[in-house]
Amino acid sequence: MKREEAKTTTRASATLWDRTRQLASQEILETALRLFTEQGYDETTIAQIAREAGVSQRTLFRYFGSKEDLLGGDQDRFGRVLAGAISEQPAETGVWDALHAGIAAVLSLHDNSEQALQRFRLLHNTASLRAGWLEKRLRLQEELLPLVEARMDAAAGAADARARAVIATAFACLDAASMTWVANDGQSNIMDLYDECLAAVRG
């Protein structure tokens, strides 16, 4: 009986700890996004974010590995979610539909549309962030290459080049969709815009 009670207590403590961490992480993130929006990404310091969020810089870095992570979250996590969603699609799913599922899964990681709009606005309007994102995206495209190649007809030849072109096109359409979404102040659905951009290219 005591052993079961101990297990229940441990589970309850773990759950409370997880909730506390989640709330603290959300508070830091909301503070960072507010400051980035009000005064600019480059002009905002980690020390200022920590101070206004009511935590130490050391605590902040336990939740977020870098200043860039405060804007867009863990880019490595995005890559894992994207690759995972593509891999989970049935073998008969076409490459474009598989990429669509992956991109939708990544966009769903945003807590809400307002935060997503803030992040995309900052990303598209901050040169340093844009450059960093492009570098990471090129690396991500290389990581996705085997998954996309596996869904293409290798017998047709030049699978590697075609797979690269497909991945680059999908990301370019996501860029175009998110830029349009930001320009329209989030008044439309970003995945609908992505589909429109992709149809324009493929048409």
The string of pLDDT tens digits covering residues 117-173 is 888 898 888 888 888 888 888 899 999 999 999 888 754 455 688 899 999 999 999
Phi, psi of 110 (to 5 degrees): -65, 140
The string of pLDDT tens digits covering residues 46-102 is 999 999 999 999 999 888 888 888 876 566 778 899 999 999 999 899 999 999 999
Give the domain ranges of the chain. 1-65, 74-203
Its CATH architecture, for the domain 74-203, is Orthogonal Bundle (1.10)
pLDDT of residue 3: 56
The string of pLDDT tens digits covering residues 173-197 is 999 999 999 999 999 999 999 999 9
The string of pLDDT tens digits covering residues 17-48 is 566 667 778 888 889 989 999 999 999 999 99
Its CATH architecture, for the domain 1-65, is Orthogonal Bundle (1.10)
pLDDT of residue 155: 44
Residue 14 has pLDDT above 80, yes or no: no
Q: Identify the band that residue 1 occupies on the pLDDT scale cut at 50, 70 and 90.
A: low
Mark residue 158 as left, alpha or beta (left: phi above 0; alpha: psi -120 to 50; beta: remaining): left
Q: Identify the band that residue 4 occupies on the pLDDT scale cut at 50, 70 and 90.
A: low
pLDDT of residue 38: 92
Which of 6-10, 20-24, 112-116, 146-150 tops mean pLDDT? 146-150
Say if residues 81 and 106 touch (Cβ distance below 8 Å).
Answer: yes
pLDDT of residue 135: 85
